[in-house]
Amino acid sequence: MPDEPTTATTPCSARLTAAVLAICSSLPPSGVAADGTSSPDPSRLTVERIFGEAQEFKTEDWGPARWFKDSSAYTTLEIAEKFKPDKDAKPATDSEPIKEIVRYAPESGQREVIVAAQDLIPPGQPGPLPIKDYAWSDDASKVLLFTNTKRVWREETRGDYWVFDRQSRELKKLGGEAEPSTLMFATFSPDGRNAAYVCRNNLFVQSIENLRITQLTTDGSATIINGTADWVNEEEFGLRHGLRWSPDGQFIAYWQFDTSGVREFKLVNNTDGLYPEITSYAYPKVGETNSACRVGVVDVGGGSTRWFQTGTNPRNHYIPRMEWAEDSRHVVFQHLNRLQNTNQVIAGDPRTGATQVLFTDRDDTWVEVMKEMHWIEDGKRFLWLSERDSWQHLYAVSATDKPIQLLTPGAFDVISIAGVDEPQRCVYFIASPDNPTQRYLYRAPLDATGAAVRVSPPDQPGTHSYNFSGDGQWAFHTYSRFGQAPVVELVQLPDHKVIRTLAGNTALRGKLTALKPCATEFFRVNLSDGPALDAWCIKPPDFDPARRYPLLFHVYGEPAASTVVDRWGGENHLWHSLLAQQGYVVMSIDNRGTAAPRGREWRKCIYRQIGILASADQAAATREILRERPYLDPARVGIWGWSGGGSMSLNAIFRYPDLYQTAMAIAFVANQRFYDTIYQERYMGLPADNEAGFTNGSPITFAHQLEGNLLLLYGTGDDNCHYQNCEVLVNELIRHSKHFSQMPYPNQSHAIKEGTNVKRHLYQTLTRYLAENLPVTP
């Protein structure tokens, strides 16, 4: 409820005049509807400007960029400005502009079109191929082109592959008689003479010269998957490309998944025909049976596969990463137990299938997968990130029995490895010892003889990311800040010399400058029984500390990500700024357990209690913020989030009904038992061993405590967090006579962005719901 008036002796007419002025001052400006849909004023944001078809605030397109293996040049895709097609020529899809591949010399910037649009016209076709992605052979004489792509769950990984030979100027299609858009993950052999690919869950090798095809596996089926992954390994480990050439080109190592025995989930499409269309796929929910997973090696000439023996139940382990040793004598893979608290680095002999454990990383909670292993000293050692000393540090691990060596001592986290320069005996990594909301490049010696030094410029606070060349001499550098669009540059290392700007986002920066500015700040919230929490705040233009403002929190709160980062936030940041322009104060807080570089205890303290400690932290911080900032109205506090943030929004309004008046939850997990094995068991353990944790961490357990306004939004075709979560929560709310609002999006995925106007409609719905239920004027 609104606060009671504090000036009881004020005459009635004066109180009425003040109320009218307050209402008028908080209304959207002329031309702006309550849902932020339209405005001719360039200083004002609207839903249409942010999410409309024009994509007015879209960042500048650049890339994808690829370094030649010898780092002598890089290439990008650019629109073919000079291409003059025949009158009937057009790209394969009307929405794709005609592009060509351009080579640049790093230092001089010399530009050369090396694959022109004219080169990409197949025989008998009217126009050039639209290029979705491309990859070079090791000697850069040939390029593999990915086109006519189709989406598989998250990404477009099925399509057609063509090879263009720069010397002969020939363009050849791979796959033989395969149906269109059925090839996956085509990859050049090291000598560039062959390409391996997956088609309908089987592996093939094809000669580039004569196009002869050799089928390497024949057991691929609806349940046997060769060379790629099942749904859950793709989603949680990012495992898609599932084949690896040996460096000598004689063998291919690959993953195989057997999904038989895994229960299927069914997605129902009610809108594309007279009768429902059913999509079934293997989805192991918490505590259920996983796919059987193994890795093996097959000769490129054909023959039987030699499988590596791990000595464990193939349905109760994970193999998230695999690669060849440089001498082709071993395949090295990471091997996790089902609880994911032990990660073994195992070397397998491709000729016998015998294995040897090289290194083991353990934790009482969970361990992380090393996304990319960097081998140094001719394969004698590799680099590894571990939290074994309470911080995530970089170690050099011997492939023999020598002790591991700490390379980055100190009370800070190494976030990721950026690159290695072996001739200079140094490794580059991302860290931020002094501010966990920012990201910088550091350099440390590979022999641990000196301290790490910062490489990112000292006068550029914010977030820096890097894409290194193979020799560690160059990098594509992206820099941004909160509310400031990114700039992409080519820099030379080790002195971080800027060679040229690759994408300055000048037009976007101009549009942002024209907006009526909202004051922003990063700050910390001190808790009485825990560490200080990082947060950010966006205030309305013409902010008046004597007024009372509604407060909206944006939350994620789970271990997979962090929201309080000093970087460009894209559409979400713009929408938050739109709300601030309308009169809201918008904040976000990182609770304990989020992926912030604040040490092992910060991240791991939420083990077996997802949703419990995090929501308590959010509530405690909210109370402290309301106490410290009298301009915030405690009777108008809202919260919103997506996926894990949707679950956290539900936990907030269900568990703390006296604190939050409005919540908007998107694509949430209502019951943790409904989510997949890999993610949920990593942080919660098995339900048989943690029944209380699963129950108390699930929002549905506390649905009976709802008192405020609740909006549920969900894609009915969500393959990740199933619409089932929404339905069971709706039933529980009805059972307790709780009123709520609901917006289903038919056949939409977890992203709720497919189809015309969908994303715009979603954010218009959110904006309107806030205006009606968390009004700027009480």
pLDDT, mean over the chain: 93
Q: Which of 7-11, 457-461, 587-591 has the lowest mean pLDDT?
A: 7-11
pLDDT tens digits for range 513-542:
999 999 999 999 999 988 999 999 999 999
Mean pLDDT (whole number) for 96-103:
91
Binned at pLDDT 50, 70 and 90, residue 29 comes out as very low
Tell me what pLDDT residue 40 has.
75
Q: Residues 6 or more apart from 571 whose CB is under 8 A from it?
A: 50, 51, 57
Q: Which of 80-94, 421-435, 463-477, 558-572 has the lowest mean pLDDT?
A: 80-94
Beta strand segments in 349-392, E: 355-362, 375-376, 381-386
Is the preceding peptide bond at 531 cis, omega within 30 degrees of 0? Answer: no
Tell me what pLDDT residue 83 has.
80
CA atoms within 13 A of residue 347's CA, in its CB half-sphere:
15
List the structure tokens of 509: 């920066």
Q: Residues 6 or more apart from 625 whose CB is under 8 A from it?
A: 525, 535, 551, 587, 632
Q: Would the pLDDT of 694 be above 90? A: yes
Tell me what pLDDT residue 88 has.
56
Q: Which of 88-102, 584-598, 764-778 has the lowest mean pLDDT?
A: 88-102
- The answer to whether 442 and 429 have CB atoms below 8 angstroms apart is yes
Question: What is the pTM assigned to this prediction?
Answer: 0.93
- The answer to whether 180 and 192 have CB atoms below 8 angstroms apart is no
Tell me what pLDDT residue 90 has.
54
Tell me what pLDDT residue 8 has.
33
pLDDT tens digits for range 617-645:
999 999 999 999 999 999 999 999 999 99
User: Within 10 A of 310 (CB to CB), how many other CB atoms are there?
Assistant: 19
Binned at pLDDT 50, 70 and 90, residue 10 comes out as very low
pLDDT tens digits for range 130-183:
999 999 999 999 999 999 999 999 999 999 999 999 999 999 999 999 999 999
Tell me what pLDDT residue 60 has.
94
The residue count of the chain comes to 778
Mean pLDDT (whole number) for 366-378:
95
Mean pLDDT (whole number) for 738-760:
97
For 390, 479, 531, 673, the CA distances from 435, given in Å and listed in that order, are 18, 16, 15, 36
Please tell me which residue, 427 or 16, carries the higher pLDDT value: 427
Tell me what pLDDT residue 30 has.
41
**Gap between the Cα atoms of 696 and 560, Å rounded:** 20
Mean pLDDT (whole number) for 51-76:
95
Tell me what pLDDT residue 32 has.
52
Q: Would the pLDDT of 109 be above 70? A: yes
List the structure tokens of 3: 């606060």
pLDDT tens digits for range 444-492:
999 988 899 999 999 999 999 999 999 999 999 999 999 999 999 999 9
Label residue 169 left, alpha or beta by phi (over 0 means left) and psi (-120 to 50 means alpha).
left
pLDDT tens digits for range 308-354:
999 999 999 999 999 999 999 999 999 999 999 999 999 999 999 99
Tell me what pLDDT residue 34 has.
56
Burial class (CB in 10 A: 0-12, 13-18, 19+), 278: exposed
Contacts for 622-627: CB closer than 8 Å, 24+ residues apart:
622/553, 622/589, 622/656, 622/659, 622/660, 623/659, 624/525, 624/526, 624/527, 625/525, 625/535, 625/551, 625/587, 626/551
Tell me what pLDDT residue 401 has.
77
Binned at pLDDT 50, 70 and 90, residue 778 comes out as confident
Q: Would the pLDDT of 3 be above 80? A: no
Q: Would the pLDDT of 579 be above 50? A: yes
Q: Would the pLDDT of 702 be above 60? A: yes
pLDDT tens digits for range 212-246:
999 999 999 999 999 999 999 999 999 999 999 99
Mean pLDDT (whole number) for 69-79:
96
